[in-house]
Every structure is written in C-alpha cells, then in structure tokens.
Amino acid sequence: MSHPGRPNVSLHPYAGRFDVHRGLPDHGISRDQILGEIAQMSKEEDAKGDSGRVSGSIYSGDHEHYGFLTEAYGHFAHANVLQRDMYPSATKMESEIIAMTAAMLHGDEDTGGLITSGGTESLVTAMLTYREWGRKQRGIEHPQVIMPVTGHPAMNKAFHYFGIELISAPVTDEFVVDLDFVRDHITPNTVALVGTAGTYPHGLIDPITELGEIALEHEIGLHVDGCLGGFILAWAEDCGYHPTPFDLRVAGVTSMSADTHKYGYALKGSSVLLFRPKSLRREQYFIVRGWPGGIYSSPSMGGSRSGGLISATWASMLALGKDGYRTIAADIFATAGKVKDAVRAHPELSLIGDSLFNIAFRADPAGTASADGGPIDIFHVNDSLASNGWRMNGLQNPPALHFCITRPNTQEGIAEAFATDLATAVGYAKEPPQPMPRSGAMYGAGGQVPDIDKLTTGLMNYLDATHEVGPDAP
C-alpha cells in the first residue's frame, strides 16, 4: 500500500526477502541472523537520509555520534527510572538535561521542567497543565486555549483528549499569528495562549513578545512551542543573526517545549518541557493515595521509562557543548541561506517568510509562468524534485513546499545540487506532461478539492496498514 499523496511508497519492501512472522517462532532464531536482518534494513533505509536530499526527519546524520549515544543508552537500557531508589543516576542526568536546556533558553531560578517522550507529549502535557491550572486557580470548568492555525496538531490531540475548547486564530499575510484576533477573543474561560518558535509549516516565529504582553495583561498562561526550533534558534544570536525574541527571556512566557531528539541531536524520543514558575509543573503531577498497591505518584504521563534515553540525551548534550551546537547551527543557517537564494532566483516562486532553518516556498501568486498563463503548480515542482531524489514536505493553505535544513543537508555540494534541480523543476512545472501532479493531490493541487470523507477513510486505512503484518512475497 502507498501513502496517500506519496505514491509508490511501499509499506512492505522486504516481502519475499525476509521471513514474515505471524506468531512466535517454535525455536529461537540465531542472534546473528536477527542482527544481520536489522543491519541490512538499517543500511538500506539510512541511505536516503544520509544522501542529504531529505527535508527534516534526520537531524544529525553522524553515525559515529549515533554509536556513542547507543553505547551510552546501553548502560541503562534496562533501567526503569520510575524506581529512583535503584537508579539515582536518573535524577542526576534528568535534572541536568532540564537545567542545561533551561539555561540555553534563558530560564531563571524559578524555571523547572520535565523530560518527555517527544514533542507530542510535551505539548499535550502543557495543555493539560493549563486545564488543571484553570480549574484549580480560576474555577474554569470549560477551558479555552487560543492557538494560531499554524500551531502543531499535537495540541489538537490535547484539546480532544482533555475537553479543551480550541479558539483557532488566523495568521497575517506574514504567516504569523494575528494579534488583533487574539486580543478580541480572550474570554473569562481562556487559560492560555500558544505561540510557536519555528512553525512546522514555515519555520517562522510568532510575535512572542506581544503574546507575552497579552498573557500578562489577562493573567493567563503562554506556551511557546519550540519543539522544532528551540535547539537551533537558541544559537542564532551567537552566529550573528537576530531572530524575533522567542524564549524565556520574554516576559509572560510561562512554559516552553524544545525537542532534544531534533536539533539537540539525541536519540528518539526525547523532549524537554519547561515551566516558569516551576510550581506550574505540579498542576500535571498525578497522585493516587488509596490504591491497594501503595501510594502511586508520577511526574508526567509516562510511568515506566527507560534510563537509556535519559543517559543518551545527557551524553549528547555534554559531548557537543556550546561550541558543538554553535558550529552545527552556523552550517545550517549558511545552508539555509543558499537554499533561499536558490528559490529567489526564480520569479515563478516566492518564499513564505524568511526562516533561518526551515525554508518554505510556493508558486508566486502573481506569476504567469504556466502554459495556461497562470502560476505554476508547486506540486509539479515537487514531482520533478522527487524524481531527482529530493524528499520535500508538502504543505497546504497555501499549497507550498518546505525544506527543513538539518545537518545532513550541510554536506558539501548539497545546496548547489538543490539549486540545479530546482531550476529543472521550475522548467518542468511550466509545461508538465499531465495536468494533475503525482504528489500533493490530497492538498487540492491543480484546483481540485479532495473528497474529505474519502481522504479520511484513506488515511485511516493507511494507519491500519502500518500495524498489520505484510505479505510473504510481493
């Protein structure tokens, strides 16, 4: 089965090559065979990311670094850090990860945090925190959160799970949150505002300073989602750039998330969620007093957690240090600059904003480059890039692509190759061989609006298929 909107992506490419296991084998398989199959799959699948032609997804690409992290992981892979009497090392490493992240993002002595399993858990936990704060401190039974349409869908999960009403704010022509809308839609039930430091679609920073002023005026929370951008934007000033203020230096910011498993170059899945004041962290603690198994307490959504991820994350941050992070960031910012120059070279295209690391571009709305006299279709551009091995991320509202620059993309010659292939892609899009592009149709490319019910059913079928055993042979 192929992914909707991404044709010819098979979920079962190993059918006919390796045995399919529909139940436990009668006898254990040799470790050599198992490791051999894992190594072969890993080698084949890493090749695409290592090529430097993939947007996002792979943030480090340094296999020596991965080996070091895996060794650190192995020492505590078996450890359940819920049991701190057995594994007090977890307290040392976890608290230091939080402290280092807080210092990087300009927290103060009243900043506390949590380690989570990734950006989704960080964002969901933050929204749960504000729901609980609203109930306990304000008596709000029907909480509302104002979030721009560019906010990450993980927060929509939280709204769905926890009965929070989303007030969805539009964005301006600059694709950042509309502050007038935010001001006009705060109610007595509003518990928090959301801004993003490095939006997933466009890599842009919402006006966090102004959101902070609004939050302070109404004495409500402000969460900054830095899951994608936190660990890269933190080094921008050191590298000579001047991004919009976004971190805990901004008055009114009461929580911030930043993923160590992205630009922190740790293993998946690891993220940090910071709170200011640190007492806010207690709003989502979970304690059960009367259970027959004893008093139960948990600092976050996870219960049992592997010490391996904590030790690997700690090791990554210490091994890189400030100099390591700065050096990588400088290479990423420089490469992003070359990619932006490549886009600007084509009047048929236009950048969405001016991100330092996540470059979004679309067909220029005023362009007249296609055969019918209108703008080219950006998904025809994507088709051509894909045929040359590039894996861009397709966007909608408006139709666009983004190239999220990570360390593999900074390899010598990659930005130059992208410029060459982008020129070819623009030429292809001016006179495409078929009117409907192969990619992006689900986003309404070519003027067609998808059948939402069919699209939803197709995506559900895809999710089912990712959890089903494949065929024995193609």
Q: Where in the chain is the domain with CATH 3.40.640.10?
A: 80-305
Distance, in Å, from the CA atom of 376 to the CA atom of 430, rounded to the nearest integer, reads 6
Burial of 325 (0-12, 13-18, 19+ CB in 10 A): buried
Average pLDDT over residues 375-402: 94
Which CATH code fits 80-305?
Answer: 3.40.640.10
275: β partners: 112, 255
Per-residue tokens: 6: 């991404």
Of residues 449 and 413, the one with the higher pLDDT is: 413
pLDDT-derived band of residue 7, with 50, 70 and 90 as boundaries?
very low
Q: What pLDDT is attached to residue 441?
A: 39
Distance, in Å, from the CA atom of 130 to the CA atom of 152, rounded to the nearest integer, reads 17
pTM assigned to the model: 0.90
Q: What pLDDT is attached to residue 82?
A: 78
Closest to 356 measured CA to CA, from 403, 314, 319: 403
Average pLDDT over residues 275-293: 91
Architecture of domain 321-457: Alpha-Beta Complex (3.90)
The per-residue pLDDT for range 107-151, each reduced to its tens digit, is: 999 999 999 999 999 999 999 999 999 999 999 999 999 999 999
Q: What pLDDT is attached to residue 2?
A: 38
Average pLDDT over residues 19-32: 92
Q: What pLDDT is attached to residue 449?
A: 46
**Peptide bond preceding 277: is omega within 30 degrees of 0, i.e. cis?**
yes
Provide DSSP, 388-457.
TT-BPEEETTTTEEEEE--GGGGSTTHHHHHHHHHHHHHHHHHS-SSSS-SS-GGGTGGGPPP-HHHHHH
Q: What pLDDT is attached to residue 331?
A: 98
Q: What pLDDT is attached to residue 463?
A: 66
The per-residue pLDDT for range 170-208, each reduced to its tens digit, is: 999 999 999 999 999 999 999 999 999 999 999 999 999
pLDDT at 450 over 60: no
Q: In angstroms, how far is CA 221 from the centroid of its own chain?
A: 22
Question: Are 105 and 260 spatial neighbours (Cβ–Cβ below 8 Å)?
Answer: no
Q: In angstroms, how far is CA 133 from the centroid of its own chain?
A: 26
Q: Where in the chain is the domain with CATH 3.90.1150.10?
A: 321-457
Place of tokens 């084509």: 346
Sign of CA dihedral 293, 298, 302, 308: negative
